[in-house]
Amino acid sequence: MADLEETLIIIDADAESARHLKEHLDSQGFYVEIFSTLAEFTPKLEDLSPDLVIGDLPTGELSTVARLVAPMRPRPPLIVMSQDVSSGHILSALRAGAAGFVAKPMIDTIDIDHSISRLMERVRLSRENQQYRLELEQANKSLKAGLEELQADHRAGRQIQMKMLPEHNLEFSNITFDHCIKPSLYLSGDFFDYFPVSDTQVAFYFADVSGHGASSAFVTVLLKNLTNRLQRNLRRHSSDDVLYPDRFLARVNTEILETDMGKHLTMFAGIIDTESRTLTYSVGAHFPMPILSVNGHSRYLEGKGPPVGLFDDPKFPLYKEHLAPGFSLVVCSDGLLEVINAKSLAEKEECLLETVQSASHTIASLEKAFRLDWVTELPDDIAIVSILESAV
Amino acid sequence: MADLEETLIIIDADAESARHLKEHLDSQGFYVEIFSTLAEFTPKLEDLSPDLVIGDLPTGELSTVARLVAPMRPRPPLIVMSQDVSSGHILSALRAGAAGFVAKPMIDTIDIDHSISRLMERVRLSRENQQYRLELEQANKSLKAGLEELQADHRAGRQIQMKMLPEHNLEFSNITFDHCIKPSLYLSGDFFDYFPVSDTQVAFYFADVSGHGASSAFVTVLLKNLTNRLQRNLRRHSSDDVLYPDRFLARVNTEILETDMGKHLTMFAGIIDTESRTLTYSVGAHFPMPILSVNGHSRYLEGKGPPVGLFDDPKFPLYKEHLAPGFSLVVCSDGLLEVINAKSLAEKEECLLETVQSASHTIASLEKAFRLDWVTELPDDIAIVSILESAV
């Protein structure tokens, strides 16, 4: 049964024969229009957009029709009707572009029905393909637009996050702080900050919020805000929590629990005192531990502590470490372990230590040593903070 | 010139004729294989995946070939070669599925070249379409995956945001607070909270952060955190800023500026005192103003003030309003104006007032009055807070 939308054209000077054929095709559900000459049909071609053309035409006009319909998609096939059934005429009709040939007068409609059904099958398949393609193109366009909208949103959020990070190459006495951050999505769950808290003391912390993306980025905003407040409190002498890494972690713990976001984080918080040459620090389940390097020898810092924002009253022990001249400290998120090619976690840790030991400890050389420029699809956020004392 | 990948099949018992034709087609760059019978060809069909088949075959076998290749995409056309050039034979070849017919012996190659070029054009177009379709499908798949990843991220962020909102239908004395929120993306720049600050006082605020999405959502996290702190300070008697809407807005202003996010917001902050039956409030450029309804009459509250988080030392005037028994207060974000169908902003405001006046002021009836259930593509976040005193 034909699709009601399908348009068949008959071009035949013999009005009686054309009318008979039209009646037959009408009854099959086709929309049929008759033209007695090609000249009549030509101007109507585009409006009618036929699916198939049946014509009793001389070979020259047949070629013209074939040329006219060639750009149409689907291209309508041509069926030639003719009283001349000599093989020469049939072959020249085929050469001219005919896809079917029916002898006139039509004794019955078997031949034309067979030709139409064979050719319409191709037309329908082609139309279905075209429809499917259009749908795909449309879906593509709308997916692309949706993706771009969300990406723009993430980029805006990321800009704000980047603004909250400290400046690059900040110097305190002879110590230079620098960092890099590579979020796996646009928004990062890795966060850190460093700032002087007295003439001889610099505070810093490194946080890795569970998960990544928008929800983890929320927590980093809170961290930045809390740190600002604690610094302000210190200036106002209303609280000196920021001078004590263990109390600092406890404060973060309280605020995260109170905001009730269902998020926790791992942290490392430290104070470097350039006068006493000590590093005082607390660990909130941070992993891997920071790497301390002196005179070309590197090792992980000792220490442990519970994650932050998970328990009601966690205890964060305080650790102290002597800092030899020309020391360096490299703090990174566990995302870095994921791009290190080793089998076990222990091997990855070992490889991380070796790579840090063999590199100089500027961010540029660490990025190069870990080939971070080459990493594109990051499984997790990666952040590195480098704390480097220049030789005096 | 033919594509080197294109495979042409010759089925012809006459080895000499087949070899001649193959030589000719080879020279045109086609890959050509010869079979002397259909039985030889059939088992090789799938491996060869021909683009076109040329055969000197009886009509029955021709039908078989046509049937065999019918499911292939693109479907290879068939060209019949035959010494029998009677019109009956040609027509039956066409009926059997032939798309071209060439007389044997071939005096020259004009006929076969013409047939091949006409049919290969169709095959190439079909193959291109198929290739394009595959590429579209692939692109679609990868866009969908990318979009789903970001959407999942946004949903996680949104869950956290929703967790930070107050509970529905909170009651203080005879006053019920309720709300709805419809973000245009997944993360909202609209935020509000309400909480008791004494036995007779309830504080509430409504904020609309510039823009929407992740970056605006960051600010809402800060707001929630600040509000928690101010409530805590009140309990500890260290600050009572939360009791004074003007001081509350000034606090928010300071914190937003200090966090240096480059974001500002509009706010409305109020305190309802059930003993003195007053509403004390300050406006941080909030628009449209809240609608106060008493005894079936509704009007916008008076007052103005600068946006929050934009200026260093803004002044937020304090306003007072008597609350008659059975009052209601409806606070909404300007996103609601965007779904109201009116020409000017003034007309939209008028329409908003009329709609609120004619509805009862529960969230359910407000959502119905504004047809928010029917709105799908939101141009901006929409949030409504309803504050409703039940008749005593």
CB contact under 8 A, B215 and A129: no
CA R_g for chain A = 39
Show residues of chain B in contact with A232, CB under 8 Å: 258
Q: CA–CA separation, A198 vs A320, rounded Å?
A: 18
Show residues of chain B in contact with A215, CB under 8 Å: 153, 156-157, 159-160
In degrees rounded to 5, what are phi and psi of residue B251? Answer: -65, -45
Better pLDDT: B121 or B376: B121
> Does an H or E element contain A190, and which?
strand A190-196
Show Cβ contacts of residue A74 under 8 Å, excluding neighbours closer than 6 positions.
A51, A122, A123, A126, A127, A130
Question: Hey, what are B363's tokens?
Answer: 């969230």
Q: CA–CA separation, B337 vs B335, rounded Å?
A: 5
C-alpha dist (Å) from residue B370 to B182, B337, B344: 13, 10, 18
CB contact under 8 A, A133 and B137: no
A1 has a pLDDT exceeding 70: no
Report yes or no: A215 and B153 within 8 Å, Cβ to Cβ: yes
Report yes or no: B306 and B314 within 8 Å, Cβ to Cβ: yes
Strands, E assignment, chain B = 7-11, 31-35, 52-55, 78-82, 100-103, 170-172, 175-182, 190-196, 201-209, 265-273, 278-284, 291-294, 297-300, 319-322, 328-332, 382-389
Q: Is B288 on the interface with A (CB under 8 A)?
A: no
pLDDT at A160: 85
**Mean pLDDT computed over every residue of chain B:** 92
Q: What's the rounded mean pLDDT across residues B197-223? A: 92
Disruptive mutation site among B63, B84, B147 for chain A (greatest number of A CBs within 10 Å): B147
Three-state secondary structure call for residue B132: helix
Q: Is B376 on the interface with A (CB under 8 A)?
A: no
pLDDT-derived band at A392 (thresholds 50, 70, 90) equals low
- What residue in B sits closest to A75 (Cα-Cα)? B122
Show residues of chain A in contact with B129, CB under 8 Å: 129, 133
B4 has a pLDDT exceeding 60: no
Picking from B91, B99, B157, the nearest residue to A101 by CB comes out as B91
Picking from B87, B154, B263, the nearest residue to A150 by CB comes out as B154
B296 has a pLDDT exceeding 70: yes
A279 has a pLDDT exceeding 90: yes
pLDDT at A339: 87
Picking from A85, A129, A225, the nearest residue to B225 by CB comes out as A225
Disruptive mutation site among A63, A82, A215 for chain B (greatest number of B CBs within 10 Å): A215
Show residues of chain B in contact with A211, CB under 8 Å: 156
pLDDT at A163: 86
Report yes or no: B270 and B319 within 8 Å, Cβ to Cβ: no
DSSP tag of B117: H
pLDDT-derived band at B212 (thresholds 50, 70, 90) equals confident
Show residues of chain A in contact with B214, CB under 8 Å: 153-154, 156-157, 187, 214, 217
ipTM: 0.72
Question: Hey, what are B386's tokens?
Answer: 């309803």
Report yes or no: B102 and B111 within 8 Å, Cβ to Cβ: yes
Q: CA–CA separation, A244 vs A252, rounded Å?
A: 12
Report yes or no: B90 and A85 within 8 Å, Cβ to Cβ: no
C-alpha dist (Å) from residue A381 to A268, A373, B153, B342: 16, 14, 14, 47
DSSP tag of B308: B
Q: Is B155 on the interface with A (CB under 8 A)?
A: no
B196 has a pLDDT exceeding 90: yes
Show Cβ contacts of residue B259 under 8 Å, excluding neighbours closer than 6 positions.
A164, A221, A224, A225, A228, B222
- Measured at the CA of B198, the angle between CA B193 and CA B202, to 5 degrees, comes to 35
B1 has a pLDDT exceeding 60: no
Q: CA–CA separation, B165 vs A78, rounded Å?
A: 68
Q: CA–CA separation, A269 vs A223, rounded Å?
A: 12
Q: CA–CA separation, B124 vs B140, rounded Å?
A: 24
Q: What's the rounded mean pLDDT across residues A378-389? A: 88
C-alpha dist (Å) from residue A111 to A105, A116, A283, B84, B93: 11, 9, 88, 21, 13
- What residue in B sits closest to A263 (Cα-Cα)? B160
Better pLDDT: A168 or A377: A168
Characterize B290-315 residue by residue with b for buried, 16 or more Cβ atoms within 10 angstroms of its Cβ, and e for exposed: bbbbeeeebeebebebbbbbbeeebe
Show Cβ contacts of residue A238 under 8 Å, excluding neighbours closer than 6 positions.
none
Q: Is A222 on the interface with B (CB under 8 A)?
A: yes
pLDDT at B377: 67
Residues 48-67 of A with CB under 8 A from B: none
What share of chain B in percent tops pLDDT 70? 97
Disruptive mutation site among B106, B125, B150 for chain A (greatest number of A CBs within 10 Å): B150
Show Cβ contacts of residue A57 under 8 Å, excluding neighbours closer than 6 positions.
A11, A38, A65, A80
Show residues of chain A in contact with B239, CB under 8 Å: none
Instruction: State the virtual CA torsion across B49, B51, B56, B62 in degrees, nearest 10.
Output: 70
C-alpha dist (Å) from residue B117 to A252, B1, B85: 76, 9, 21
Q: CA–CA separation, B228 vs B11, rounded Å?
A: 86
**B366 to chain A, closest Cα gap in Å:** 29
Q: Is A114 on the interface with B (CB under 8 A)?
A: yes
- What residue in A sits closest to B103 (Cα-Cα)? A91
In degrees rounded to 5, what are phi and psi of residue B328? Answer: -140, 150
Strands, E assignment, B107-234 = 170-172, 175-182, 190-196, 201-209
Show residues of chain A in contact with B99, CB under 8 Å: 99
Tens digits of residue pLDDT in A240-278: 999 999 999 999 999 899 888 888 999 999 999 999 999
Residues 239-278 of B with CB under 8 A from A: 255, 258-263
Disruptive mutation site among A78, A122, A155, A261 for chain B (greatest number of B CBs within 10 Å): A261
Q: What's the rounded mean pLDDT across residues B95-123? A: 92
Domains annotated for chain B, with CATH where assigned, are: 7-133 (3.40.50.2300), 165-389 (3.60.40.10)
A379 has a pLDDT exceeding 80: no
Report yes or no: B282 and B317 within 8 Å, Cβ to Cβ: yes
What 3 state SS string does A310-346 have?
CCCCCCCCCEEEECCCCCEEEEECCHHHHCCCCCCHH
Show Cβ contacts of residue B313 under 8 Å, excluding neighbours closer than 6 positions.
none
φ/ψ region of A111 (left if φ > 0, alpha if ψ in -120 to 50, else beta) reads: alpha
A155 has a pLDDT exceeding 90: no
pLDDT at B381: 82
What share of chain A in percent tops pLDDT 70? 97
Tens digits of residue pLDDT in A314-328: 999 999 999 999 999
Question: Hey, what are B35's tokens?
Answer: 């079979």
Show residues of chain B in contact with A255, CB under 8 Å: 225
Is residue A297 classed exposed, middle or buried when 0-12, 13-18 and 19+ CB atoms within 10 A define those classes? Answer: exposed
CB contact under 8 A, B160 and A133: no
In the sheet with B100-103, reading across from the earlier edge strand, the strands are: B31-35, B7-11, B52-55, B78-82, B100-103
Q: Residue B355: how many CA atoms within 13 Å on its side-chain side? A: 23
- What residue in A sits closest to B156 (Cα-Cα)? A215
Tens digits of residue pLDDT in A83-137: 999 999 999 999 999 999 999 999 889 999 999 999 999 899 889 999 999 999 9
Q: Is B131 on the interface with A (CB under 8 A)?
A: no
* Residues belonging to chain A: 392
- What residue in B sits closest to A94 (Cα-Cα)? B100
C-alpha dist (Å) from residue A391 to A69, A111, A175, B295: 82, 98, 10, 79
Picking from A94, A136, A187, the nearest residue to B101 by CB comes out as A94
